[in-house]
Amino acid sequence: MPIDASWPGYAKGTIPDDGFEWIWQDAIPADEPDRDPQVAYIPFGYEKKVLPRGWQKTSANKPLDLDIVFEKDVEIELRDGVKIYADIYRPADVDGSEKRIPIILAHSPYGKGGGGANLMDVVPYRVGVPKSRQSGLEKFEGPDPNEWCQRGYAIVDPNARGSFDSEGNLHMFGRKEGEDAHDIIEHIAQYDWCNGNVGMAGNSWLCVVQYWAAMEKPPHLKCIAPWEGFSDFYRDMSRRGGIPWAPFLKWVLRGVPGRGKQEAVTEMAEQHEIYDQYWESKRVDFTRIDIPAYILGSYSSMLHTMGSIRAWKDINTNKKWLRIHPHQEWYEDYYHQSVDELDRFFTRYLKDVENGWEQTPPVRVSMYRFGQNYPLYDQIESDYPIPCTQYTKLYLSDKHSLQTASSTSTAVHSYNSETSAMVTYDYIFPQKTVLAGFSKLKIYVSCQEHNDLDIYVMLRKLSIDGELMEQSNVPLHELPPDVKTVKDVANVNPTKYLGPTGILRASHREIDPSKSTDYWPHHPHLRTQLITPGDVVELNIGIWPMGIVFEQGEGLRLQVSGKTMVLPEWDNPHVKHMEPKFNKGMHNIHLGGKYADSYVLVPVVP
């Protein structure tokens, strides 16, 4: 039964099989000596104490700005009897007699109490967030208790079902996490020091679970702040374009130890090639979310961009706000301006203060300029995609250029799909131009050696001198002194952005016209259509949103390859060994004649 049909009640909280079998794997024990060294284990056991102002977790961390009551491993029983454990932080002057405060819930399996996974430590420069900016008590990708307790909130950091010392088996997204979050929210809202209002915050996993929690409609959940998370597990991450992608997921699950089993998501992805009930069970139904939402997105994430835009379009309330920021998402979590604004949102809906938040523009969009130029920040718009967008076709030519008119000259451009070889097409802007929103590539391809093709595309910015340009995801002044230019920034995706991308496996080329737009092809992924070797097929490849300013004389380059051109999430050669080895032989791009309608559609904003 697809999740969109009827929504079952809360009976016992089990997940129906829906015609498929779950694959489980043993979790790495949380206290096993040879577990991932980046995952710190804090011995289990309840404890309550006051952390005094000036307390430091380490000499590198920020001292506390106030006295904080810290409760460790607080037991919360879920509807099916499973016990999970949370850490709770609240200002010491909140006793429940006269002063009550709201709660911000940060739900994930990444650990708590300043322990668990902290993948910021394996990314260069900690993406511009030094330890001196954090108390060290924060959950990975979650709010810092020191910051938020002094603003008048409590922080609750649970270890999700099946992670660390919490009981049960770990489900990776879906209704079970939503049910669990519902139960946690309704439990913690009853604390005598809580004012009955609970909000949720955090990015990535902490963002995705907010959607599922809000779908369950817990009465005490008053608002959510989903800052960068996917919402269609198939299309956004696990099998984007129909291509299985394991490296990132395997990396994530290494950082989630437990005492039970974990859903083997990469194995499930291999077994479920087409979109079926398994994937539907992990797709957010935004029509069920009707509470205020402050949504954050970015172009730089290779995981979350589409999820953020989808949330903005489909959440079922007019009390929603979208901001596309110009930074890496972890940097944005702790960027003072963003924290101040999130506080305004929570003050309105968790403290019930009329502070003018509703006058905040519904959409704000940042625009990259690349190189040493800082992005244009928070351009105000009424909607997204931007309503005045002029979608413009740039046609692929036999001269490896992009041009405003189709060419009659025929050509075949080829590249070796088993290497990092690529074919490129350039366009030089005759005047200053802003591209903001979705793009689409229509292309005709063939392969003699294989009955299928994986195609990867990327749009790059060219300088006036014809050099490929790059964008730092962290302001340069936040990086070490030896990082003087963007070229010096480490070549990993969290710290450097190259351009928007598109991905498609040719056997998944079928389009559903009823769900497609002029600028975005919707692939249902309900069946595979293999290709007779040598036959030419038409592919329409959606390219994720961008916001880029091109000055007169600067250029746009379309790159087409059989390998991903995105920088890795972290500098580890093991990642390359997990990339799909699917393509064979030469890929051929056919142009001109009956293939003259080959173009990239770009979003020009006046």
451 and 332 in one domain?
no
Closest-CA residue to 287 (of 239, 241, 320):
320
Q: What is the DSSP string of 229-267?
A: --SBHIIIIITGGG----HHHHHHHHT---SSEEE-HHH
Structure confidence by residue, pLDDT tens digits, 558-568: 999 999 999 98
Residue 575: per-residue pLDDT: 58
CA angle in degrees (0–180, nearest 5) for 225-365-139: 30
Are 313 and 399 within one domain? no
Query: Is 77 a domain residue?
Result: yes
Output the domain CATH number for residue 332: 3.40.50.1820
DSSP character at residue 488: G
Instruction: Tell me what the mean pLDDT of segment 232-257 comes to.
Output: 84
Average pLDDT, the chain: 92
Structure tokens at 167: 């009981």
The kind and range of the H/E element at 337 are helix 336-350
270 within some domain? yes
Contacts of 61 (CB under 8 A, 6+ apart): 131, 132, 134, 135, 136
Question: Are 182 and 56 in the same domain?
Answer: yes
d(CA 160, CA 150): 26
Question: Which three-class secondary structure state does DSSP give residue 509?
Answer: coil
Dig out the tokens for 75 from the structure: 């037991």
Residues 436 and 519 in one domain: yes
Looking at residue 45, the DSSP 8-state letter turns out to be: -
> 541: which 2 tokens?
């490849």
d(CA 386, CA 389): 6
121 or 131: which leads in pLDDT: 131
Q: What band does 4 get if pLDDT is binned at 50, 70 and 90?
A: very low
Query: What pLDDT, in 10s, does the model give residues 419-452?
Result: 999 999 999 999 999 999 999 999 999 999 999 9
- Could you tell me if 394 and 290 lie in one domain? no
* Statement to judge: residues 287 and 330 lie in one domain: yes
pLDDT at 425: 98
Count of residues in the chain: 606
Which pLDDT belongs to residue 12?
Answer: 29
Considering the domain boundaries, does residue 2 fall inside one? no
Report pLDDT digits (tens) over 278-294: 999 999 999 999 999 99
Q: Rounded distance, CA 374 to CA 368, Å?
A: 7
Domain count, the chain: 2
**Structural domain for 351, as ranges:** 24-360
Phi, psi for 303 (deg, rounded to 5):
-125, -35
What per-residue confidence (pLDDT) applies to 95? Answer: 75
Reading the block at residue 448, the tokens are 């003699």
Q: Within this chain, do residues 276 and 336 fall inside the same structural domain, yes or no?
A: yes
What residue type is assigned to position 427 of the chain?
Y
Position 384 in a domain: no
Distance CA 299, CA 308 (A): 10
